[in-house]
Structure 1
């Protein structure tokens, strides 16, 4: 299949379970995720590490979904949140999404939250941290 845009190179055999070939062979498949080449992934991770506010994070979350089909979910734990590890950052399973990318995006967001803790507080506040006080 020839895509109208450059696509990500195949991962080494056994290193990933992204089902890239199955995605490319299905004419009805959403191949937007394959736009995320290694160079583009580096740019994305750098951008995610420099988030400045919750609005900026929400904008990036929206753009990830629009441009690549990536569904990002960020929620605080139902238990007490004492550290940034208590904030769950997950990417929905998706054919074509590389295992390393699935780990790198949440890690970049966590680094951004460490640099700007006010974003983490805004996430907690948006999920009702200070309700009832």
Structure 2
């Protein structure tokens, strides 16, 4: 797979602008047309990169995943503060769930009934032969 550093500058710029829209809530919102204009490509080219260029899509996912992993530590720090300073039970629940220590369970009860045919084996075989004859005649 291609690395970000190995991509053409236009693709790098497009990736950064697209990713910034996802990871930075304070970033100015840009349309695809505005991003393409700033990068110096057509909107169609940007569309093709976003939808058909596997390297572009993979690097974009890596950038977003990298940011998300940084946010996890910030999230745990915020949870820790909530738990220590405010005894926030919901924060404790979120922490436990994230560590697989608290799993929501639902109990399902099902009543299954089966009907057993009262027909004998020979009657069932006759019915089967009748059905086969109908299928063969069609």
TM-score by structure 2 length? 0.29
Largest Rg, 1 or 2: 2
TM-score by structure 1 length? 0.30
Higher strand fraction (1 or 2): 1
Bigger relative CO (Cα 8 Å, ≥ 6 apart): 1
